[in-house]
Copies of this chain bind each other. A is one copy, B any other.
């Protein structure tokens, strides 16, 4: 039997921009200029919790989180990284990697449900995507 095809959850498609497909995960940039915020979505159908992935896939996801974390450190110089697989509203397995700064819009609270999303202006969006893509590529080769 063929595996069900992967389809990005409509809520993630609505809230974020596709950045790059890694070996396992589609990396999205959350459309919220208040934070540098990436979301990794393993391109496998029917996964909800991290431990739903096979063991090697769990590790692969973590390695891709590391790539994204390193890129965010270079691009956003965060005071803290937040890494979270929640999924109470969007059951499709996805992991948030958020660059946090002391004094940001939610600090020191978690980012979810705080105020209104602030979509990127088009030129800022293009620049941010390009920066992050370049750093993910560098981390990948590193």
A residues sitting closer than 8 Å to B (CB atoms) are: 48-51, 55, 58-59, 62, 65-66, 69-70, 73, 80-89, 91, 100, 107-110, 112-113
Cβ B88 vs Cβ A85 within 8 A: no
Cβ B86 vs Cβ A110 within 8 A: yes
Report Cα–Cα, A94/B110, bound state, in Å. 15
Known contacts: A65-B50, A66-B51. The answer to whether A88 contacts B112 by CB under 8 A is no
* 23 cross-chain CB contacts under 8 A: A49-B80, A49-B81, A49-B83, A50-B65, A50-B66, A50-B69, A50-B81, A50-B83, A51-B66, A51-B70, A55-B66, A58-B62, A58-B66, A59-B59, A62-B62, A82-B84, A83-B84, A84-B84, A88-B100, A88-B107, A88-B110, A89-B108, A110-B113
Known contacts: A62-B58, A85-B83. The answer to whether A109 contacts B112 by CB under 8 A is yes
Report Cα–Cα, A66/B65, bound state, in Å. 16
Q: A86 to chain B: which residues have CB within 8 Å?
A: 80, 82, 84, 110
Report Cα–Cα, A80/B37, bound state, in Å. 22
